[in-house]
Structure 1
Amino acid sequence: MIKSIRSILLTFGVIVIITGCSSLSKAERQELYVKAIPIGQEYFKKYYDADVEFEGYEIKVPMSSTIVLNGHIKDDPQTWVTLSFYLPSLEIKSEG
């Protein structure tokens, strides 16, 4: 009984340490966002001939190691776009 409780607590502790240590600081998050913007704008220009404005982002670490940019077409604020990148390489994963 005590061994199983100890194992559960140890597993929980390891999970907390891993997820806590892999988080990014606010400055690191902002730096990734600033680096991803021109890549995303160039991507939409090249493949869709569209100028986009990104307005926000979401970083999904440690579960999927991605950053998702959210924005819209410059002349059409009703047409929303998203672009997902792998971290830390900023390789494009998907768009929508």
Structure 2
Amino acid sequence: MNKKISLILSLILLVMWLGGCSGISKAEKKEMVEAATIAGEKYIKQYYNSEFILKDEQFLDPAINSTIYLHGYIKGHEDEPISVAYDYSKKEVRTVIGPDWFIDSRNP
């Protein structure tokens, strides 16, 4: 399962690196990242009762879809990466990617 996730994330990162994020200004990106970070932190707090710490973010090219990946970790588990996929058109968290123990701890 983790190998599949790693492969998918690697492919997404490759597409982003090759394609860039054309059509979005730096100011727009900054606003989107701020909104995504707030939404991601609230989502992690609500459904996982944890504190998400952002390390960096990555945009998918708008031609592909409207996703920002927030990469970070959960406070107290700095060595285990967590990613939050945020849809900036719908302004909602799509999914959380991380270790099985964390994903399985989700509150309904």
- Give me the TM-score of the superposition, normalised by structure 2: 0.64
Structure 1: runs of 5 or more not aligned: 1-18
Cα deviation for residue 79 of structure 1 reads 1.7
- After TM superposition, the structure 1 = structure 2 runs for residues 14-93 of structure 1, keeping only pairs within 5 Å, are 23-60=23-60, 61-93=62-94
Q: Secondary structure at the match of 2:91?
A: coil
Work out which of the two has the higher radius of gyration on C-alpha atoms and give 1 or 2. 1
RMSD after superposition = 1.7
Q: Give the ranges of 4+ consecutive aligned residues of structure 1 lying more than 6 Å apart after TM superposition.
A: none
- Give me the TM-score of the superposition, normalised by structure 1: 0.71
Query: What percentage of aligned pairs have identical amino acids?
Result: 27
Instruction: Name the structure, 1 or 2, with higher relative contact order (CA <8 Å, separation 6+).
Output: 2
Structure 2: runs of 5 or more not aligned: 1-18, 98-108
